């Protein structure tokens, strides 16, 4: 009987205390009764745990957990709560004092996969490969932390070490100890395949990609290029403004992409290029993501290009960083990208016009070898582009698919 009265008293005190706290907050903020009840539930749980959990707990830790739980309940791998230590690391990283291991990662179905490996970076020198699965970082399984925190734990101060556990098909799981470095890479490379066809590869979209693309494009045009194969395989995306810079060189006048928020507000990126200058075939694979999907979608929708390869990754959302009151923060998805015809990329990806599946191989930006007889995607792209160039056409209209007898079935 005493035990029953004891717990009833505890709950009553917690309710009264929470009601007073919530009442004051609601009065100040002017919230409605439903919100007040939800806040009351939270404060009852907080007070009860603080006062009666078997061990003393820090209130800050409980609040961090509550915020993390709210963000985690969204089920969005790109939205994450950044506790003070992680948030501080992110801020320090943007100051330029932090480095990485030279890989691009993708997050899907609760796993973390290496999408591409930067040439001559710590990861490549250690033997990391595209499609490796990251199981743990410094002993912490990736299933116990958010995707954003996985990336932030791998990055860190230049010269420090990070230990990652890798799973690769066909061999035993292996631990790699890597030293972080500042990663500086060239992102665009190109060459002529013959006297008419040019080939360009973009590894990712960094701050300098727009200028690199313009320079390489001008070189190919001076060499007489009449058609372009644009290789975006294993391109994980990057800086949206750099993607737009590239798009404005090859996407005809009009919308490149639209960024639409929940309330319907829209930001539109446009091109003022008077007309497409030459036909383009884009190469995509399942690791082509984000900005590479935006560029491909814009070219495909405007018929300035066709896409060959595989369905892309499907990452078409916008995140913003929201600072909180205790040196913590939230990285939150606030909008989605759409193609010129209104297609959503997020979770959908870009479907190729000609689907050709093949095993992913590292597409190193400095390796412009194009005579690989096993690269069916590249061979098909070259065949389709050569037909369009020989026909003297630039845009890929409906008639394109009916004329070349050798075109693979769609």
Active-site positions? 290, 315, 319
- CB-based contacts of 112, cutoff 8 Å, min separation 6: 105, 106, 133, 134, 142, 147, 150
In contact, 313 and 345? CB cutoff 8 Å: no
Phi, psi of 101 (to 5 degrees): -110, 0
2-29 helix and 33-52 helix, angle to the nearest 10 degrees: 130
- In this structure, are residues 312 and 286 in contact, taking their beta carbons and an 8 Å threshold? yes
Q: How far apart are CA 304 and CA 298, in angstroms?
A: 8
What is the four-CA torsion angle of 324, 325, 327, 332, rounded to 10 degrees? -10
Phi, psi at 230, each rounded to 5°: -110, 110
Query: For residue 402, is it left (φ>0), alpha (ψ between -120 and 50) or beta?
Result: alpha
Contact 235, 203 (CB under 8 A): yes
Asked if 249 and 213 touch (Cβ cutoff 8 Å), the reply is: yes
H-only helix segments in 104-208: 122-126, 147-154
């Amino acid at each position: 009987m005493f035990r029953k009265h004891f717990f009833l008293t505890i709950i009553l005190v917690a309710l009264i205390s929470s009601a007073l706290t919530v009442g004051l907050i609601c009065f100040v903020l002017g919230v409605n009764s439903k919100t007040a009840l939800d806040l009351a539930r939270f404060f009852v749980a907080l007070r009860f745990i603080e006062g009666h959990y078997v061990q003393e707990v820090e209130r800050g830790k409980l609040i961090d957990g509550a915020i993390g739980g709210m963000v985690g309940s969204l089920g969005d791998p790109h939205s994450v709560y950044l506790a003070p230590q992680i948030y501080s690391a992110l801020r320090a990283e943007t100051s330029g004092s932090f480095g990485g291991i030279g890989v691009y990662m993708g997050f899907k179905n609760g796993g973390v996969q290496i999408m591409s490996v930067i040439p001559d970076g710590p990861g490549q020198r250690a033997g990391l490969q595209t499609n490796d699965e990251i199981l743990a970082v410094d002993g912490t399984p990736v299933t116990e932390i958010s995707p954003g925190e996985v990336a932030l734990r791998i990055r860190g101060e230049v010269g420090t070490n990070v230990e990652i556990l890798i799973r690769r098909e066909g061999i035993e799981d292996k631990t790699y100890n890597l030293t972080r470095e500042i990663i500086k890479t060239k992102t665009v490379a190109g060459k002529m395949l013959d006297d008419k066809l040019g080939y360009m590869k973009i590894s990712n979209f960094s701050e300098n990609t727009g200028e690199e693309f313009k320079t390489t494009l001008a070189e190919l045009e001076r060499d007489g290029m009449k058609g372009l194969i644009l290789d975006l395989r294993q391109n994980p995306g990057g800086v949206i403004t750099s993607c737009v810079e590239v798009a404005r060189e090859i996407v005809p006048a009009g919308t490149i992409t639209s960024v639409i928020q929940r309330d319907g507000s829209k930001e539109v990126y446009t091109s003022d290029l008077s007309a497409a200058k030459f036909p383009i075939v884009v190469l995509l694979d399942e690791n082509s993501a984000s900005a590479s999907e935006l560029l491909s979608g814009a070219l495909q929708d405007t018929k300035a290009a066709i896409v060959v390869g595989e369905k892309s990754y499907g990452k078409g959302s916008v995140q913003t960083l929201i600072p909180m009151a205790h040196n913590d923060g939230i990285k939150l998805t606030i909008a989605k990208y759409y193609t010129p015809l209104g297609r959503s990329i997020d979770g959908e990806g870009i479907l190729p016009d000609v689907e050709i599946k093949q095993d992913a191989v590292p597409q190193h930006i400095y390796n412009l070898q194009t005579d690989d007889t096993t690269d069916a995607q590249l061979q098909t792209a070259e065949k389709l582009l050569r037909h369009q160039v020989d026909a003297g056409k630039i845009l890929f209209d409906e008639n394109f698919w009916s004329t070349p007898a050798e075109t693979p079935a769609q």
